[in-house]
């Protein structure tokens, strides 16, 4: 069976400028370069999987209008099939991204999907794409993601969460998640107790947390025990780091692509780490794509 990855979550229009340093208050600076492209965790993950040769569908909310058309065109050119949860006019979120030349660090300002309506009814009507072999959710469009994750779980389709940050209601989604891969910035409640254990208590049987270029902590939940371990990413010299923008999205997209291809989750995560490590040597989330 041909691998098919379904991603559900955020797609944005990213305005990316490379600067020598971040501006101070009331200061104007001149950017080194400008790029306008699609972005968002699920969108970048979908494009990553497509670049790796996995057939990919992105379930998101775009609507119709000039910004939506730009995002849709970019995703289509990247090989991603778009399923739009919005009927009629819409304006996807626009993210402003400043990438610091010399360190590759990025600063991002975005409204994300905060203004979007609940799209769970639309997602329920669509259902998970026929033939899906894995589902990735990023926690945005939470109602729709929860509906699709619940259906995927009943059909035995592995569900991977890109845990960029905690969002109200995420515990309901986590109840249907098999594998949760969290960012270094992910926080839960008051922060007491071990984060991986607390997330595992909400449903996932595999929880991992990245730490930039540092070790990735892992917790595997078995029938009678919980087994912690660590994966160490390949080292990248500081001089070789061009841009960290989207590295986490690449990590999740490559991991999901490997899951969709039938690999076990530890192998899939190792594949994701390797691809994300390579991505920081190139500009943008997809600069590594030939």
Q: What is the CATH number of the domain that holds 223?
A: 3.40.1190.20
Take residue 226 and report the two structure tokens written for it.
């919980």
Q: Is position 180 within any domain? A: yes
CA 144 to chain centre: 16
Q: Are strands 55-60 and 80-84 parallel, antiparallel or unpaired?
A: parallel
Q: Is position 126 within any domain? A: yes
- Cα separation of 230 and 233, whole Å? 10
Q: Is position 284 within any domain? A: no
Tally of domains in the chain: 1
| CA-based nearest residue to 274, from 213, 187, 196, 190 | 213
Q: Is position 107 within any domain? A: no
Phi (first) and psi of residue 254, to 5 degrees: -70, -35
**Distances, alpha carbon 123 to alpha carbons 143, 149, 161, in Å:** 8, 10, 17
- Cα separation of 290 and 130, whole Å? 30
User: Which residues have C-beta within 8 Å of that of residue 52, sequence separation ≥ 6?
Assistant: 253, 254, 257, 275
- Domain span at residue 226 reads 39-90+116-279
Q: Is position 95 within any domain? A: no
Q: Is position 86 within any domain? A: yes
Q: What is the pTM of this model?
A: 0.91
pLDDT tens-place values along the chain, 290 residues long: 589 999 999 999 999 899 999 999 999 999 999 989 999 999 999 999 999 999 999 999 999 999 999 999 999 999 999 999 998 888 888 889 898 988 888 888 887 777 778 899 999 998 888 899 999 999 999 999 999 999 999 999 999 999 999 999 999 999 999 999 999 999 998 778 899 999 999 999 999 999 988 999 999 999 889 999 999 999 999 899 988 878 999 999 999 999 999 999 999 999 999 999 999 999 888 989 98
Q: Is position 258 within any domain? A: yes
Q: Is position 159 within any domain? A: yes
């Amino acid at each position: 069976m041909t691998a098919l990855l379904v991603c559900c979550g955020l797609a944005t229009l990213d305005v990316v400028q490379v600067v020598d340093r971040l501006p101070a208050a009331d200061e104007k600076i001149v950017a080194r370069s400008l790029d306008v492209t699609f972005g968002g965790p699920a969108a970048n993950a979908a494009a990553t999987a497509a670049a790796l040769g996995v057939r990919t569908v992105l379930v998101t909310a775009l609507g119709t209008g000039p910004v939506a058309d730009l995002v849709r065109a970019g995703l289509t050119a990247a090989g991603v099939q778009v399923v739009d949860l919005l009927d009629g006019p819409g304006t996807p979120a626009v993210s402003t991204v400043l990438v610091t030349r010399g360190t590759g660090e990025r600063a991002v300002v975005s409204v994300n999907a905060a203004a979007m309506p609940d799209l769970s009814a639309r997602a329920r009507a669509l259902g998970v794409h026929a033939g899906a072999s894995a589902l990735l959710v990023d926690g945005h469009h939470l109602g729709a993601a929860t509906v699709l994750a619940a259906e995927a779980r009943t059909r035995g389709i592995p569900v991977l969460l890109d845990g960029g940050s905690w969002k109200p209601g995420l515990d309901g989604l986590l109840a249907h998640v098999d594998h949760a891969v969290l960012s270094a910035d992910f926080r839960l409640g008051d922060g007491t107790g071990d984060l991986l254990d607390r997330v595992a208590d909400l449903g996932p049987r595999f929880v991992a947390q990245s730490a930039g270029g540092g070790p990735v902590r892992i917790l595997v939940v078995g029938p009678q025990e919980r087994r912690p371990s660590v994966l160490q990413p390949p080292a990248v010299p500081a001089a070789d780091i061009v841009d960290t923008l989207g590295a986490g999205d690449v990590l999740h997209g490559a991991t999901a692509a490997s899951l969709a291809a039938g690999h076990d989750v530890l192998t899939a995560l190792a594949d994701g780490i390797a691809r994300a490590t390579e991505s920081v040597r190139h500009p943008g989330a997809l600069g590594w794509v030939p």
